[in-house]
Amino acid sequence: MTVAEAVELAKACEQVGFDRLGISDVVFWQDCFVLQSAIALATDRIGLGAMVTNPYTRHPAVLAGMIASLQEISAGRMFLGIGVGAGLEDLDLDYPRPVTALRESIRIIRDLLSGGSVDVDGEMFSTLGAKLDRPPSQPVPIAIGTRSRQVMQLAGELADTALVGARHFTEELASTYRGWLAEGASRIGRDPRSVEVAPRLTLCISNDGDLARRSVVRYVAHYLAIIRPAEIDAERLAAIDDALELAEGWYFDLDRYDPPALFDLVTDEWIRNYAVAGSPSEIPDQLRQVTDLGFTSVSLNLAAVVGGSMQSGLQQTIDGFGAIIDECR
């Protein structure tokens, strides 16, 4: 999409009532911080942030400077979503010592944003005697996104929000992630209930519910190949792997090629497990399953309805959620 199209969608998110809007930080895409700046100038209420950036392509001191500027532009609406990143292989970069890298980064970023002089001589990053020229006047919440135990423990120590990337949530899995979070919080005597926990779910809505479900088949196949749930037999998972080898484009590209076999391999049951998809009237019951697990926030990965442009496909999902957002609250 063009920057103008992204800004229009952001305005639509604000208009229908979303609380926050995250912009992906992906190598070779339009810069997520430039987009946030454009969106901040075009909106009034909605919170804004990266979902998520990383400390490997952007030094934490650089991130602190960008966030400080955006906090001023947005009149205090920014948050910082940070994790180990994705797509760095395209730059021939690895993800060394992720917990250490995130711990040091968050310390540097928080201390710089607070206006103090920062002396960190870390294992991954160093910032000696540094101080922001213009620190923000309002604090910036930090969200950590992950599926791993160690990073979730770190979120229990340091994050304002923990974004849980498991995609499929059961009572057992929700309890596991809360346990990891509590383990981290206990290290510093922190109440784990002070951390907002937001499960990450894919959302796709169309007046044609079947079209919305078909639109996320590739998403679900991608998640199954990564997470490899024990409930799916090895033969089916291998067949999904083989089908994905024939796929073209990223799973969220509208001009991608989805092998027909995926639509037989990914059942309606697994679409329900790994996505919130359907017509507007079908969505509240699906989200109610999340609140029944005790979650009070949700991080929705907006998926475009196929059949048109990226902007029009995402607009359908945004408008569809707007029609039932009050009920969902």
180-197 residues labelled b (16+ CB within 10 A) or e (exposed): bbbbbbeeeebebeebeb
- Predicted pLDDT of residue 156: 97
- Predicted pLDDT of residue 254: 84
Name which of 151, 62, 69, 145 is nearest 109 in CA terms: 62
- Predicted pLDDT of residue 86: 77
Using a 10 angstrom Cβ sphere, with 0-12 exposed, 13-18 middle and 19 or more buried, the burial of residue 302 is buried
- Predicted pLDDT of residue 171: 93
Secondary structure in 3-state letters for 15-54: HHCCCEEEECCCCCCCCHHHHHHHHHHHCCCCEEEECCEC
Task: Look up residue 233 and give its amino acid.
Answer: D
Are residues 112 and 130 in contact, defined by beta-carbon separation less than 8 angstroms?
Answer: yes
Residue 129, SS3 per DSSP: strand
Name which of 27, 105, 21, 114 is nearest 59 in CA terms: 105
Mean pLDDT by 10 residues, the chain (329 residues): 96 98 92 97 98 94 97 98 86 91 97 94 94 96 94 97 90 94 97 96 97 97 92 95 95 90 95 96 94 93 95 98 95
- Predicted pLDDT of residue 94: 86
Are residues 252 and 303 in contact, defined by beta-carbon separation less than 8 angstroms?
Answer: yes
- Predicted pLDDT of residue 250: 86
Residue 202, SS3 per DSSP: strand
- Round the CA-based radius of gyration of the chain to a whole number and report it: 20
Q: What is the reported pTM?
A: 0.94
Beta strands in 256-318 (DSSP E): 276-278, 299-302
Structure token digits, residue 319: 């408008």
